[in-house]
Amino acid sequence: MYEPLTEQNAVALAIRLGLFQEDALLSCQEIGDGNLNLVFRIVNERTNDSIIIKQALPYAKVVGESWPLTLKRATIESQALRTFASYVPQYVPKVYYSDETLAITVMEDLSHLQIARRGLIEGKTFPKLSEHIGEFVAKTAFYTSDFGMNQQQKKKLVQQFTNPELCKITEDLVFTDPFFDHDTNSFETELRADVERLWQDDELKREAAKLKRLFLTKADVLLHGDLHTGSIFASDDDTKVIDPEFAFYGPIGFDLGQFFANLLLNALSRHESEREPLFTHIEKTWDVFVRTFTTCWQESNEPYARVSFVLDDIVSDALVEAIGFAGCEVIRRTIGLAHVADLDELPLERRLEAKRHALRLGRELIVQREHLPIHAIKRLVEQTAH
């Protein structure tokens, strides 16, 4: 039977599962941020061995209210981590155990790394971040697509990763609510005129609706579904992607778009002269993605990949999608329900300036997405500064 774990029975569970030696001296702390899930860190004080137990809660705490939310997302998360591990084990935590009834995933403790968002806010560069995320996205996308696996097998995976409740959160909070006067939105009163202009922007709303349709209908590759910089642990040498509870089959550009958007939001939080490392990350992620995806394609034994001539189309569509999805993510993180610390931690005047910039940038990313080569993103940031 499901019940939320306490620190004490998380320890009891770890012992029962035989995850530590008999003589272990265990301590446990709940370290999650507590909106959707519990995250317990259990340490053997004798050896410093440690594990993480993540448990889904049957509701999400959103602005004080509780929304019921399926526990199945814990199973989606552990299955996605295992699927990703079969292609890129170096970029995900090891999963030691999972239990559908308890809605838990027991996994490798990554506390020696830092959440990338926090590090980027502190001014860290994480020199390998883009190379690793480019490879992560390319390989997980390719090998879960119809070009990297048997098409009948792929249909089974599409079914396995049907994730309607979590997708609905994205459909509403990313693609709909920010473009209308919806009560989930949240922004500084000083931004009201800018936001009302956005709500009246029919061209923008039509383009965002097209992107939403892609998200709803294009079952192309297995996506992480929530690949912002808070879902990435990093150091100078290592990168690990966590938290794929939103995983589902969707358009190839979605994960790249969310990642780009969160790099851009960090860039906007900085002085102009400090933004270059973020633009470099965006361009390098894209380059590595294209190179890796192309190599996977050329090496593929899948008959369909060998008789298909659409590699170039897939790559160019992926960029258009990524830029459009990035625009949606930039806007929703500015005025929607869930914000980013990169902007929210700025003092008011700088915050307002950065958020106005984000709204202009997000709009142009969406409406110009078909005409922007990757290096044009940097120029667009400059052009939308005022």
Taking CB within 5 to 8 Å according to partner kind, which of ligand ADP, Mg ion, none is near residue 93?
ligand ADP
Of the pair 116, 149, the CB lying nearest Mg ion is at 116
Neighbour order of strands in the sheet with 239-241:
114-115, 232-234, 239-241
Q: How far is the CB of 210 from ligand ADP (least distance, A)?
A: 29
Q: How far is the CB of 128 from ligand ADP (least distance, A)?
A: 19
Of the pair 103, 278, the CB lying nearest ligand ADP is at 103
Q: Could you give the count of Cα atoms lying within 13 Å of 64 in the half-sphere of its Cβ?
A: 0
Degrees to nearest 5, angle at CA 114 with 67 and 328: 50
Helix, coil or strand: residue 105 = strand
Of the pair 39, 252, the CB lying nearest ligand ADP is at 39
Q: Which residues bind ligand ADP (CB under 6 A)?
A: 31-33, 36-37, 39, 52, 54, 93, 107-111, 115, 231, 242-243, 245
Of the pair 66, 153, the CB lying nearest ligand ADP is at 66
Residue 120 sits at φ, ψ, to 5 deg, of -65, -40
Hey, which residues between 218 and 257 contact Mg ion (CB under 5 A)? Answer: 243, 245
Q: How far is the CB of 272 from Mg ion (least distance, A)?
A: 30
Of the pair 231, 300, the CB lying nearest ligand ADP is at 231
Q: How far is the CB of 184 from ligand ADP (least distance, A)?
A: 18
Distance CA 32, CA 70 (A): 18
Strand spans (E) along the chain? 26-30, 37-44, 50-56, 59-62, 65-68, 95-99, 104-108, 114-115, 221-223, 232-234, 239-241, 248-250
Provide the greatest CA pair distance for the chain: 66
**The residue type at 34:** G
Q: How far is the CB of 230 from Mg ion (least distance, A)?
A: 5
Of the pair 224, 369, the CB lying nearest Mg ion is at 224
- Beta-strand pair 104-108/65-68: unpaired
Helix, coil or strand: residue 14 = helix
Q: How far is the CB of 147 from Mg ion (least distance, A)?
A: 29
Cα pseudo-dihedral 74, 79, 85, 86, rounded to 10: 180
Taking CB within 5 to 8 Å according to partner kind, which of ligand ADP, Mg ion, none is near residue 349?
none
Distance CA 381, CA 386 (A): 10
Of the pair 33, 181, the CB lying nearest Mg ion is at 33
Q: How far is the CB of 118 from ligand ADP (least distance, A)?
A: 9
Interface pattern 170-209 for Mg ion (x via CB under 5 A): ----------------------------------------
How many beta carbons lie within 10 A of that of residue 72, not counting itself?
17
CB 260 within 8 A of CB 377: yes
Instruction: Examine residue 33 and tell whether it contacts Mg ion (CB under 5 A).
Output: yes
Residues engaged in binding Mg ion (CB under 5 A): 33, 243, 245
